[in-house]
Structure 1
Amino acid sequence: MGQKIAATYSKLKEFASIIILGIAIAIFTFPSIHLSYNIGIDPPMMWISNFFFNTQWEVAQNVIFPHGPLAFLVYPTISNIELAISVEVLLKIFLSAQLVRLIDSKNSLRWLIGFVGAYGVVLLSNFIFLLIFSIILSYCNYFETSTKRDKYIALLLTGFAFYIKSYVGIITCIISGSFLLYEAIVKKKYKLFIVDALVLWAFIFTLWLAMYGTGTGFFRYCFGLFNLAQDNSSAAAYYPVNNWWYLTPFLIFTFGYPLVYRSKRSLFFAALTTLSLFAAWKHGMAREDVYHIRGTYHYAIITFLLFYIFNRKQQLSFLVFAGVALALFNLNMQNAYAYQARTYPLLDGVVNLVTYIERLDAIKVHAQKVTQKNIASNRLPQKIVQEIGNATVDVYPWDYTIIPANGFNFQPRPILQSYAAYTSWLDLQDANHFKSDQAPTYLIWDLNKITTGLDIGTMSSLDYRHLLNDEPQTMLTLLQHYELWYQDKNYLVYKQRKYPLQTTSSIIRTNQTTWGEWVKSPSNMAGLLRAKLSFDKALVQRMKSFFYKDEQFFIYLKFADHSIQKYRIVPKNAVDGLWINPFVIDPTHPHKQKKVVAIALDASNKKILTDALTIDWEITDFVNAPNCPNSFFGKNQPSYATVAKSIQLFEYPMDSSWTDYPKSALTQTEAFSGKNAFRVEPSNYSCSYKITLDSSWINQKIQISTSCWVKGVDLEASKKISLVTSIEHEKESLLWKNEKLSTHLLDGTAWNGMTQHLQYTPQKKGEQLQVYCWNNSQQPILIDDLQVSIQLLKD
């Protein structure tokens, strides 16, 4: 009897110690509270996630987006901060408890290792990582003790994670799937594999039923997650300069250490985590901005730490090799887009907790005031708000703070932000929505988007893409089902038509072409002209896309005024049509419209791509609205800016506007087009186009569009090569803008197109415009087709 009491006391003491340690970890890592949100691309997701939770939970049933219906736990606001914090604290306690349980009870440093390990893991973890690594630790403890509770908790958490965010849903399903396969293949427990797979499926489906009370939409949501994982790198990747001398050793160690430190434990751990670690690598390297790549870095750190604890051999050599591998990855991470060093608040948790307890009400009041101030710029005229009243409203392309700023009745589409519809299937979900009974009565098109583009105007999308190419099928549906109801300089407001427009679409021509080749577009065509691009993926391209990320793909548009514009394209939906004519630059200015006369397609690393491209030219006629799509953007008829000056270098007789240059600089062996190209030596300038701005242009806005093609540079040199536009008056610099080649570089061995657009209003007589290429690198380059176009813009 005494032994039983002693054993019970020992277990209670152990349990109490683990809980106390978990609470201590939660206190020392208590997060700071930020409850306000802002306008833009990502910040509005904080509002929309909480809108579903607070107001219309059932609406989220039809949404397919990287943020799931439970994303409000990641982005809490004043209405649910207590719930989100409670869940996060419980996850921290649970993770800490699971980690301590892994440590050998005979280890004299058990509690020190447990505290330091748990503190390190939690410090590097956001809400998503807490879920992921709690699941990994639960499976590890099941391996150690065969306690079924650990396994089923892990399966339950996987079901929960499935609805947080596509990233965590995919990662945790990979982890649980890896565990189930380990049971089947290594343990040969086939019946158990089937049972546990059904349990996981039951947890996922039961949570769906609990949220919505029906199974409708469940399989569509699952297939949507699959589509969201497709072609993400083509749609949203950055391509910084990576140092593969750093990354290669990191990869060798990351995916090879279980073979070096071989044991039953390492085999299990590798089976459990390798695929998820690969998915984390893919996720970070696909986008490769500092936020995503740092996520991969933290994922690797925590994985190595857990292996060190779980393996129990705890060799010093593993720590050394892991440290070197992570240090190398960290060095390369400094090349990531928007990189900035991060500090880790080691001791801020206690202060954050005290602030949360003492000032939560004040924090909520302050957050509400800040939010209202932040989104005030998205208010429409009061008369328009009143006329819309309680009718259903959606926002295009992504800033949903327009809804709370005006108190609109929100009716969201499945793919909440246009840039995320990067497969035909995803695009089709939005297209079908706008045809259905669930379509909103009004659609507000936001013209003041925050984007990164290469052009002037309001039609830019995310990551150098063109907004009208984000969702080709959806755009056609909008043209058919909505008409312009109101417009100002900030918004286009569309109202649902009583009867949709009738359309007929047909392929009028097919061109077989290759990368970098100009193809003339069909001319004098009414209606909407789009180019449907298709090509097969080569084997090497598929392999690179799978293990790393796909190439960059761009379309170049040559306009009637000889200016050139480029946009990034996504092959998965380019097959549905790239918008060509009428090409809209800015709906609020009728003159900001251009006519496309030719297109060219380009890509990075063309050596691994197929050369055969097919362009099907599709014309869509609007039977009962012949002026559509011009009328959709508030244009009664096509209107083009007046071309004041347009000239192309190297293929036309030179006039006095061009500076002298040595004839030896001309070469006819490697011209991009025509006969001649121009060689620019290291640390030198090309010849310049130089004119005095016409005095009649004073106080009139002009648009200066320049472009050229450059060959013979590597990635580092491209940062020091620029297309320069300058304006001076009596040696005083009034404007100087350089467009770096690094922004446009696709292939260092081929020709790369550069474009630059700027607006300027001359103020003085005698202002001089100069355009040239500046090679500040240490290697010679070739340039061709240096073009300048000046247009008069009238407001």
Structure 2
Amino acid sequence: MSDLSSVVSIRSAGGDLESLLARYKTEVLAFFSVFILVFSSMKMYSTAASSGNVEQWVNLTNQVFYEGRDFLFSYGPLYWLVGGSSSQYSIYTYWGAILFVSLVNGAFWSLVFTLVNRARSYVFFAVAFFLFFNGLAFSAAFFLLPFALVAYFECSKDKPLVVSAQWMAVLGAVVGFLFYVRFFYGLVGLATFGSYFFVRLFSEKKISRLVCFVAAVIVAYVFVGLVIFHDNSSIVNYLIINKNLSFGNSVDMTLDIVNSRRTFVAAFLVAALLNVYLLLKRRSLLLTVNVLLLLLFKLGFSRTDHYLGYFVIPTAALALIMVFDRNWLGRALFVMAMVCLYYLSINPSYSGAPTKDSLLPAIDFRAGYQERMQGLYSDFKLDDGLLKRVGDSTIDVYPYNNEYAFANKLNYTHRPSFQNYMTLTPALDSMNKAFFESSARPKFVLWTAGVACGSESCNVFDAFDQKFSLNEDPLTVNAILLNYHVVSVSKGKGGVPLMLLEANDGRAVYSETQLSETLMKFGEWNKVPKFSGGVVKVIPNFELTLYARLKNLLFRGNILKVRYKLVSGGIREYRLNILNSKSGVWVTPLLDNFEFSGDAVDSVMFVSDSTHYFKSEFNSAWIGVQVPKVHNKAIAVNSVSTSISGILKNSVIACEGSIDLMNGAGPTSTTLNVTDLLKLQGWLVHSTKNGTLFDKTYLTLTDKKGSRIFVLTNGEARGDIGVAFKNPALNAAGFNGLLDLSTLSGTYKLGMGGLRGSEFYSCSQFEIPVTVEK
């Protein structure tokens, strides 16, 4: 039987809840809509909120969480609930604050939307929202929620709602709690509910409910204070401090200004319009609204610089009371009130006061489009000599940074596919190539450094996504280099290099010279053929597998890279565009500056991150392209000597160090041509225990007769060595060396040694066979 009664009770509770939701479906829908929107969009960040101002309180609102410390100020000890702190104390207070803000705004707007919907005052509400509110996360909701609730009691039904003693106690408890969020919030809540229920007392003759409200405020104030304060005396001190802060703020925290009389007149007219309506239609709200008007006027105009946020905007919300009833008088008075408040918002209350004009666009259209764009990119200013040379002539900016065109009001005439790293296919590349070979081409091209170039000494061809910009759209590059010549090289934003090119008198069509063909494999080095007077490129005929075609269609492509082994022994790597690589991959010289010089490349290797995307073997064609002014950099080899001066003692020891790389590979027996260079990299220290280095590090080559030559190396930073031995002094232990083999022949043993003072230490463990052939 008890089980049956439980089922009946559950069904009854479910029915009551369903009935309640049906009765308040508008309110519930509005509440959850606003709650979800605010909760999902709100973020609270850590900010240096007091930096550059005197608002020290913002760093102390979290003192409620400190052991033995109480925060006593007008911004309450719970002000962090509305985000009032430099940083939220913990993850729990972070989500608690967002929840609190969402609940308050959900409650406030659900009451307002319900009353607007009942009165069908959508247009009037929309006007106020556009002019003054501008968002659902409405800061004034924290102190206007009591008024929204009073308006709901008064206007949601044909007759004012009767609030029971229990609900009066709940409202009192909420007000008591709000005092600790911010003292002003509690004060406004007390004034709002107290004045409204005081007026209702004369018609309802039930003082007990008002007593319940007042008692609940006091009890809640004391109870919450006991919970959050560490010292019980803070409950009283909080009142004393706020009383004195309020009085002192009114008397001595004033600005040396003269208010505009017109703003006082506009404020008076708004108050008068509200009072006319309330006298004729809603006398029960007359006291409440005027009490709030006095508080808002006091708060907004006592400092005056606060009048927008604490008088104009909240008063616009109060004025909504005139459109919560379906009568034309209220709507007419509301429109007039909006005009007065709008006047207040756009006209400063004093010289230099803040204003708010929602009808004013965010862009100042008094300035022309060109002037506005120039102002946006003012740091992209070009030097006067370059601008004088270009004048009004047409110009394109390649590969990036058309900001220069707008910043300098250039006659910008861009290629069809104007964004370099998005010229992803040969078809788009061909369109740009045809443009620069046509009569429609611009007279000038401003060639800017790659997006990865950030300094005066950077590689100007380091591009987007670790790519080499000369490989991004190879046909376009060829057309520019063949049809334009360099006029000047200068600096742009941040001192980054750029160059100006001018169109040649004639027009040239891209052509190439076939050098050779070869079958290549991924992961294998391929020797670069010789070509004088230009650039060597390779055209790989990559073959996609069926898996690759499906992957491209349904998902995304794979990563393709090209590695360059320089004649000097170094290795560089770039990502490649898979589709555009069929138009030619730039190989040598590997340019890095606008003087068109670059390192000579010995061989190249293609690398894929998958063994299933490409077929492992592919045919490739080597081609030569005549490009003016392109040349190899001189190779700086290390000095070689047959002896070291100043040595008084020679020792042989097991050294602490390593030859890590020989021409980019691990140290091993090797055979080289006399025309080759040998690049070596590694590290050497005198003592890892003591953190001592050699004064100089040498590589040695010893022939079969025992004759030895010494190669002085270059220092190289090796932070990994310092980390490995936990001594930053060893970060300088690295070395590199480049050997010219043209004077050598035969078999040698490659070794290492170090000079410290007048003693030379030969490393016993390094005897790597190296054969040099003619």
Alignment TM class, shorter chain as reference: 0.3 to 0.5
The normalised TM-score by structure 1 is 0.38
The normalised TM-score by structure 2 is 0.38
